[in-house]
Amino acid sequence: MSDAVRLQLEDFSLDAEISALRATSKRVGGIAVFLGCARDFSEGREVAQIGFDAYEAMALAELQNLRAEAVSRFTLIDARIVHRLGVVEAGENIVLVAAAAEHRAPALEACRWLIDELKARAPIWKKEITPAGDAWVTPHP
Amino acid sequence: MIRALFFGPVAERVGARQIEVDFRPGLTWRALRDQLAALHSEAFEIVSIVAVDGRRVAESDAAPLRDGAEVVFMSAFSGG
């Protein structure tokens, strides 16, 4: 089974990640998922691809810390975080956050918390690649 | 030797992902920043986060760097 927290160039399978979570325990009563995708537009411009750069050692450590914090804070059964690096084509997957708990409320709350914290704490940078040129993305609050 | 690393928009503005700087006793990350910012002012305009050996440091952190330290100068994150 693949690691629960990963940075990778290649795409990932939503089904495989959910199956991995379900396999951890039969106590799982709900799984909440956030799947970030590459839009083909931004602020009125066409976006062909999105490029990702990362300080990989620190980013992976931060994501592993986030998973552990989420499991403890929301009493999760397990959680998985996968973020792609390199060039992602418009329409493809970028990031997956999935949280499994006995009940829906902690799973949903953890999922929201995880993606918000990931954006704030993981040293990853996004560049929109457009026909008119490339531009690094300024983070949104 | 101290290794200064850059990623994303900072690396693009510096024109490199790494710069090696001779170690000298007492050198702090802030002194290193000032030294590099004098050469790459446009890049350091967007630096808001600094990590030493994989750990974020505060502006008030004045601990001297060890020989072989890795110092990363980063802009605000935009992943996800």
Does B16 touch chain A if contact means CB atoms closer than 8 Å?
Answer: no
B12 lies within 8 A of chain A by CB: yes
Going along chain B from its start, the domains and CATH numbers come out as 2-69 (3.10.20)
What CATH number was assigned to the domain covering residues A5-132? Answer: 3.90.1170.40
Q: Domain coordinates of chain A in residue numbers?
A: 5-132
Unique residue bearing structure tokens 């918000």: A116
Q: How far is B42 from chain A (nearest CA, A)?
A: 15
CA angle A98, A119, A82 (to 5 degrees): 35
- Residue A73 — φ and ψ, nearest 5°? -65, -40
| Residue B7 touches chain A, beta carbons under 8 Å | yes
**Could B76 and A139 be called an inter-chain contact, meaning their C-beta atoms sit closer than 8 Å?**
yes
Q: What ipTM was predicted for this assembly?
A: 0.94
Q: Which residue of B has its CA nearest to A140?
A: B78
Distances (CA, A) of B12 to A108, A124, B9: 37, 14, 5
Minimum distance, in Å, between the CA of residue B69 and any CA atom of chain A? 15
Distances (CA, A) of B41 to A103, A109, A127, B8, B33: 51, 42, 21, 16, 10
A31-60 mean pLDDT: 95
Nearest to B7 among A36, A119, A125 (CB): A125
What is the per-residue pLDDT across A53-92, written as a single tens digit (0 to 9) for each? 999 999 999 999 999 999 999 999 999 999 999 999 999 9
Q: 0.90 exceeded by the pTM?
A: yes
A141 pLDDT band, cuts 50/70/90, is low
Confidence band of A1 (pLDDT split at 50, 70, 90): confident
Asked if B49's CB is within 8 angstroms of A123's CB, the reply is yes
B11 touches chain A (CB under 8 A): yes
CB < 8 Å to A94, chain B:
80
Are B78 and A54 within 8 A, CB to CB? Answer: no
Among chain B residues, CA nearest to A95? B80
Contact in structure between A128 and A48 (CB atoms under 8 Å): no
State the pLDDT confidence band at A95, using cuts at 50, 70 and 90. very high
Q: Dig out the tokens for B14 from the structure.
A: 């510096």
